[in-house]
Structure 1
C-alpha cells in the first residue's frame, strides 16, 4: 500500500488545498501531524517499527478533502479518499476515511450529519471501512491525534470532542463514537509502558484554560 514519504511533497499538497479553502482545518492538520510524530517516536522507542515520515505525512493530509469546502459531515473524508487515491497513494486515501471512525467495525451512521452524505458516497465509505476494519498503528495514532489537536495546538480529548460536538452536532450514538477515542488511547498507552499520551504533547495543559470553540 503506497503512502507519501516526502514531507516537502506532502506540504505542497496541504498548501495547495489551503489556497482552495482557507480555514482553521489547516493549522489543525499541522498540529495533528506534530502530535502523530511525537507519539510514533515514543512507540519506536518501545520497539515498534514505524516510519515517522509516513505517519507525519498521512496525519498532515488526513483532512485534505477540506479543499472542496466546509461540511459538518464526513463528506470531506470521501473527498480526501478520492483525491489521494487519484494521486496513487491508497494508504493516505484510506486514512482520510478511517480517521473519522474511531470505533473498529462501528455503525457508520454514528457519524454526525450522516443524512447530508449522498447515497453514492455512503456506499463507497461503507466499502472502504469494511475492507479496512482492522486498524494498524498508523490508523490508530492518527485517529487519536485528530482528537488531540485543534487549530491552536494540543488539547485533551474531553475538550476537543465537546468542541466538535457543539460545532458539528451530535446524534443518539455520539457517546459510542467518542468511546472509540478512549479505547485507542488506552491501547496505545499500553504499548508505551502505560505512559500517558498527554505527557508526550508539550503544553497540552494550557488547553484546559482556553475557551471552547463553538
Structure 2
C-alpha cells in the first residue's frame, strides 16, 4: 500500500480513536509545518513531508508510553511497507544519533532497546528526517510556536537531563539549514507565529 496524504490522515484518525490525546493535534501541526517548509524546498515533496509529519508519533496508538511509541510506530509503518515513515518514527526523537541522548524512559524489552540502539547509530538521515525533527519542535497541540517555547514545554514535562542543551543546539542547527534552503525564516511558513527579532 503506497503512502499518501489521505491514507496518513485516515491512519492518524484511527490511532486517535484508540488512544485519544493532545498528541493527535500536535501531529497535525507538525505535518502542516513539514508541508509548508517542504513546499519551499526544491528537492522535497510537500505531500511526502506532510505524511511523515502526520505519522511520526503514530506508535502512540498502542497506549500511553514513553520511548516505546517510537518502536511501535516503526513496526506499524514497516508492516505497511512505509520504510521511510518507519525510520522517522524513531529518528524524530534522535536529532543526535546516539540512544544515550534520549530524554524519555525506555519502556521496552532489552531486545528492542538493542535494536533501537543499533538502528539509531546506523540510520542514514536525509532532509525528511531533519525536517520532522525540526517541525516536532515547532508544534504544540494548540498550534505553531517558536522553538524556544517548545523547548520550555518539553523541559517542564521531561526535566532537563545533561543532553538537553546539546539537543537544543542540534535543532537550532537544523533550523539554520532549512533557512538556508528556503532563503528566509522558517517562521514565515507558520501562520500565527511572530519571530523574536532581538539578536
Partner of 1:130: 121
CA contact (8 A) 1:32 1:142 kept: yes
Residue-pair matches, total: 195
The structural deviation recorded for 1:115 is 4.9
CA distance in 1, matches of 2:106, 2:77: 24
How does the TM-score come out when normalised to structure 2? Answer: 0.91
Deviation of 1:127 (Å): 2.1
Change (3 A) 1:169 1:117: farther
Instruction: Please list the CA deviations of residues 96-131 of structure 1 after superposition, one character each: whole Å capped at 9, or x if unmatched.
Output: 01100112x3x3111113454432221111222233
Cα distance in 2, alignment partners of residues 3 and 184 from structure 1? 29
1:8 is the counterpart of 2:6: yes
CA contact 1:28–1:153 (8 Å) conserved in 2: yes
Provide, for residues 113-168 of structure 1, a one-character-per-residue CA deviation record: whole Å limited to 9, x for no partner: 34544322211112222331x32111111110000011011001111011112112
CA distance in 2, matches of 1:35, 1:52: 10
Query: Residue 42 of structure 1: SS of its match in structure 2?
Result: coil
What residue is the counterpart of 1:111 in the other structure? 102
Residue 3 (structure 1) shift: 6.4
> In structure 1, what is the Cα distance between the partners aligned to 2:31 and 2:113?
27
Residue of structure 1 in register with 2:162 after alignment:
172
Conserved in 2, the CA contact under 8 Å of 1:3 and 1:90?
no
TM-score by length of 1: 0.85
Paired position in structure 2 for 1:57: 51
Unaligned runs of at least 5 residues, structure 1: 207-214
Pair 1:27-2:25 in alignment: yes
Structure 2 alignment gaps of length 5 or more = none
Residues 3 and 91, structure 1, Cα contact 8 Å, conserved in 2? no
1:121 to 73, 93, 112: 112
**Shift of residue 21, structure 1, vs aligned partner:** 0.2
